[in-house]
Amino acid sequence: MKGTEFLTDEDDPIDIRIDGVFKAVFTKDTPAAKRALSKLVSALIRREITIETILANEPPMVSMGDIQLRLDINCRAENGELINVEMCFNPQPFEPTRMEYHVAKLYTGQDIKGKDKGYKILKQTYQISIISKDIFFQDERYLHTFEYYDPVSRISLNGRTRIIALELSKLDKIAEKPTNMMSVTERWAVYLEYLTDRKRRGIINEIVSLEEGIAMASSVLLTISRDEEERARILRAEKTELDYIIFMGHAKEVGLAEGREQGLQQGLEQGLQQGREKAILETAWKMQEIGLTAEQIKAATGITLDIIP
């Protein structure tokens, strides 16, 4: 394709599987980013679609626990269909349940009240989750589409919600195929998974040359990666999120350990409570240490800075 920008040996692209990087690439206010998003969604739902509007590029966080969950791309296609796309770089054990929750929320969030409205106007909705790590579905298929159906007769409800899960951990065999033998969906999956693998740079460039949408996404990513200030900002945000996840895991461990120790002396219930309180204080202190705001600390722990030792 004319004007296509390929990765050179000197390029060090940021990992597009990182939640914040993925969002930055596909929501950048440029025609290339919007076109790339349209092509990615089309490949995953296996039907040509054009993204018209990004509905909530920066939705408000209810709590610090929403950091990863909220790094999604909520958008509307030109035909009115609603799509939520997210990269799950650090998926949780309850990921499939979360997918179901969000597609339901997207579907029921449509306004059906008023004259000439009602259920008939409801648009198709999609929850698209690209899962970077772990395997949730115990088969060899890397792409699953879920919808309501009768498990006995296998008859579909023909409803208007779909959950699409792309598992990047299942691409070993697909990545060995010649790029001209890969489907469009396979090319997108291989690009996302192996972009930063220098040993596969030739394959990545072949894919870039074959797919217009991937070429556009790659161009946006390279622009971000080569901008030292933007690169530092994104990686700093990713470090903050990772630190938070680690601190919350630490808090849980401290709470349980403290609970066991106190339980031997004063009873399990009292010990667990004291352990949790101590863990929360430690977590709040460490969150303050890495520069999180008072509002973020209060949302995550329920305590204010003035009571932190």
pLDDT in tens, 60-76: 333 334 444 445 899 99
Pick from 141-150, 162-171, 193-202, 221-230: least confident: 221-230
Q: Is the pLDDT assigned to residue 59 strictly greater than 50?
A: no
Q: pTM of this prediction?
A: 0.74
What is the distance between the alpha carbons of residues 187 and 191, in angstroms, rounded to a whole number? 6
Highest mean pLDDT pick, 81-95, 191-205, 234-248? 191-205
Q: What mean pLDDT, rounded, does the chain reach? A: 82
Mean pLDDT of 79-104: 92
* Top-confidence residue, 265 or 214: 214
Question: Which comes out higher in pLDDT, residue 143 or 243?
Answer: 143
The answer to whether residue 92 scores a pLDDT higher than 80 is yes
